[in-house]
Chains A and B, each alone.
Chain A
Amino acid sequence: MSETANLVGTRWLRRVDPAVATAFACIILLLAFGSLYSTNFLSPEYLLQQLKVASFLGVIATGMMLVILLGQIDLSVPWAVAVGGMMACAAAAYGTVGVYLAIPFGVACGAAIGLVNGIGVAYLRIPSMIITLATNAVAQGLMVVYTGGFSPRDSATAAMRFLATGSLLPGIPNAVVIWALIGFAAVFLLTRTTFGRSVYAIGNRERAAYLSGIDTRRIVMVAFILSGALSAFGGVLLAGYASKAAQAMGDAYLLPAIAAVVLGGTSILGGRGSYLGTIAGVILITVLQSILSVMQMPEAGRQVIYGILIVAMLLLYGRTPALR
Chain B
Amino acid sequence: LSEPETVSGPPDEPECFVPWSADTKFFKFPTKDGPYRIALANGYIANTWRIQMIQTAKAYAAQSDVTAKLKEFKVVSTGEDVPAQISAINNFIDSGYDAVIVNAQNPTAFTPVIKRAKQAGVVLVAFDNTLDTEDAINVNVDQKGLGVLWGKWLDTHLPDGGKILEVRGVPGTSVDTDRHNGIHETLDASGKKWEVVEVLGKWDDPTAQKATADAIAVHKKFDGITAQGGDTGVVQAMIDAKHAFVPFGGETENGFRKFCAKYASEGLKCSSAGTGPAQVAVAIKTAIAALEGKVVPQSVKLPLAVVEDPDFKENQDYYPDQSDNFFVGNSFPTCGINFTAQEIMGQTKENE
> A: which residues have CB within 8 A of B?
38, 40-41, 43, 45-46, 49-50, 53, 140, 143-144, 147-155, 165, 238, 241-244, 246-249, 251-252, 290, 293-294, 296, 298-300
Contact = CB atoms under 8 A, between A and B. Distances in A.
24 contacts: A38-B219, A46-B214, A46-B217, A46-B218, A49-B214, A49-B241, A53-B213, A144-B51, A148-B51, A148-B55, A148-B348, A151-B342, A151-B345, A154-B323, A154-B325, A241-B209, A241-B236, A248-B46, A251-B204, A252-B204, A293-B214, A294-B219, A299-B200, A300-B171
**A-B pairs, 5 with minimum CB distance:** A299-B171, A151-B345, A46-B217, A244-B324, A149-B348
Contacts of B218: 38, 40-41, 46, 294
Chain B facing A: main interface SS: helix
A244 B325 contact: yes
A150 B48 contact: no
B217 A43 contact: yes
Nearest to A155: B324
B172 interface: yes
Given A38-B219, A293-B214, 4 more contacts: A46-B218, A50-B214, A144-B51, A244-B325
B345 A246 contact: no
Contacts of A165: 240
Nearest to A290: B214
Contacts of B324: 154-155, 243-244
B142 interface: no
A218 to B, nearest CB: 33
A276 B207 CA distance: 26
A183 to B, nearest CB: 21
Contact of A293 (B45, B200, B209): B200
A44 B146 CA distance: 38
Contacts of A152: 323
A53 B215 CA distance: 13
Contacts of A144: 45-46, 51
A244 B205 contact: yes
B65 interface: no
Most chain B CB inside 10 Å of its own CB: which residue of A140, A151, A247? A151
Contacts of B48: 147, 246-247
A48 B273 CA distance: 34
A248 B197 CA distance: 25
Given A246-B205, A249-B206, A148 B54 contact: yes
B255 A244 contact: yes
What range describes how many residues of B lie at the interface? 35 or more
A280 to B, nearest CB: 20
Interface of B: 45-48, 51, 54-55, 171-172, 197-200, 204-207, 209-211, 213-215, 217-220, 232-233, 236, 240-241, 255, 322-325, 342, 345-346, 348-349, 352
A97 to B, nearest CB: 20
B46 A296 contact: no
A151 B47 CA distance: 14
Given A49-B213, A252-B207, A246 B352 contact: no
A270 B1 CA distance: 63
Most chain A CB inside 10 Å of its own CB: which residue of B48, B197, B198? B48
Contacts of B323: 151-155, 244
A249 B204 contact: yes
Contacts of B45: 144
Contacts of A38: 218-219
Contacts of A293: 199-200, 211, 214-215
Contact of A294 (B51, B207, B214, B325): B214
A49 to B, nearest CB: 5
Contacts of B204: 246, 248-249, 251-252
A28 B236 CA distance: 29
Contacts of A46: 214, 217-218
Most chain A CB inside 10 Å of its own CB: which residue of B55, B171, B240? B240
Nearest to A79: B46
Contacts of B236: 241-243
Given A41-B218, A148-B55, A248 B325 contact: no
B12 to A, nearest CB: 33
Contacts of A151: 322-323, 342, 345-346, 349
B232 A244 contact: yes
